[in-house]
Structure formats: C-alpha cells, structure tokens
Amino acid sequence: MIFSFLAIFRVLQCEFLIFHDFQFSQHTPGPTCFSPYSRS
C-alpha cells in the first residue's frame, strides 16, 4: 500500500520534472528521470 503510494508519487514527480525541463529547456526532448544519462 505504502509502496504503491510512493510509486505513484514518484511517477507524478517525474512527470513534473519532465514538464519543468520541457518548459524551461526545450533542448531536452526525452524524459529526464527515466534516462538521466542521455542528457545533452
């Protein structure tokens, strides 16, 4: 129960970070939290 809640919170946080990066730095088209290594 707590694990699923944390997972959902993690996903929402990732989506927020992706939206934030896409809004302020549009040179990063990929999701940053899922692929932090391929960031150019």
Would you say residue 34 lies in a domain?
A: no
Burial of 31 (0-12, 13-18, 19+ CB in 10 A): middle
What are the residues whose beta carbons fall under 8 Å from the beta carbon of 18, sequence distance 6 or more?
31, 32, 33
Tracing tokens 């129960």 back to the chain, one arrives at: 1
Tracing tokens 């993690």 back to the chain, one arrives at: 10
Q: How far is Cα 4 from Cα 27, in angstroms, rounded to an integer? A: 32
Number of structural domains the chain divides into = 1
Report which of residues 23 and 28 the model is more confident about: 23
Q: What is the pLDDT of residue 11?
A: 86
Whole-model pTM?
0.39
Would you say residue 17 lies in a domain?
A: yes
Q: What is the pLDDT of residue 40?
A: 45
Would you say residue 12 lies in a domain?
A: yes
